[in-house]
Amino acid sequence: MATSAQQLNRFFQACDKLMNEKYMVADSRIEDVLRSIAESRALTDLFSAVTERFDYPSAKRLYLRFPASSTSFHGKAFLPEDRGEVLAFVFCLLVDIDAGRIKFDDFLLRYFYEDGSYTASFALFSDRMLRPFRDIVKECFPDVSQPVRDGSVAQKARIKNAAWETFTALAIEERARIKTLGLSSVDAIAGDMILSELIQAAGKNNLTAINALLSGYHYFLRALFLDGGKELIKASRELE
């Protein structure tokens, strides 16, 4: 069983991954952050305490704002001054995003608009909300620190992360390509479903599911006498 320090470090690592990874896998990373909280007694106690009397509906009205007398679709998000309320507010937002009560795409472009780009808007959200959220939790547990990686381990981690990003990008491109082939509605839906599941599996770094889905996709292409998929299969080998 993991120690309390190990559980806390999993939370910090999950926060770092969420902030540093691509926007397109943010949903699964938010799920990881919330799971790491649920698995830590120290963190569940902390967030139970800060949310116990926190008025989240009022906080949303106060800190998610639109300019007065403006017809602009774009507003701004703020954080409370109280550090405990910062934890409660961001935690509740993450729970709502994970549960689908807040549509993350719309939320980013509405309150963190940056050149109309989801990637840039997500970076702004990470800097303004996720970073303070993580740092305040760190200050609550000053005796816990993540182990320092040596250079070779860090380099391997960077290479592995790059491989996952490449694979995910190729899967997204393949999904877009299949839609342009003029397949029958049944075949188009089947191909899109496989690739959609593949992208989700990549977001969770689930190599077992990826291998199973790729096998199915390979036979899907062969059955329809279609080319393609080779780069995707090649990229999957770099994930092992």
Local structure of 12: helix, strand or coil? helix
d(CA 25, CA 18) in angstroms, rounded, equals 8
CB 14 within 8 A of CB 193: no
Contacts of 223 (CB under 8 A, 6+ apart): none
Handedness of CA 96, 102, 106, 112 (dihedral sign): negative
Mean pLDDT, range 190-197, rounded to an integer: 90
Size of the chain in residues: 240
d(CA 72, CA 70) in angstroms, rounded, equals 5
The number of CA neighbours under 13 Å toward the Cβ of 54 is: 23
Q: Give the phi and the psi of residue 65 in degrees, each rounded to 5.
A: -120, 155
Mean pLDDT, range 65-80, rounded to an integer: 75
Contacts of 177 (CB under 8 A, 6+ apart): 228
**pLDDT reading at 230 higher than 90:** no
Confidence of residue 152 (pLDDT cuts 50, 70, 90): low
pLDDT digits (tens, 9 = 90+) for 76-103: 899 999 999 999 999 999 999 999 999 9
Local structure of 23: helix, strand or coil? helix
pLDDT in the model for residue 148: 45
Number of CB atoms found within 10 A of residue 105's CB: 12
Question: Residue 77 is inside which H or E element, if any?
Answer: strand 76-77
pLDDT in the model for residue 1: 43
Amino acid identity, residue 147? P
Mean pLDDT, range 160-173, rounded to an integer: 84
Q: Give the phi and the psi of residue 171 in degrees, each rounded to 5.
A: -65, -40
pTM of the model: 0.60
Confidence of residue 153 (pLDDT cuts 50, 70, 90): low
**pLDDT reading at 143 higher than 80:** no
**pLDDT reading at 61 higher than 50:** yes
160, 163, 167, 169 alpha-carbon torsion, rounded to 10°: 110
- Separation in Å, CA 38 to CA 33, 48, 91: 9, 11, 12
- Tell me the DSSP string of 25-73: GHHHHHHHHHHHHHT-HHHHHHHHHHHTT--HHHHHHHHEE--TT---S
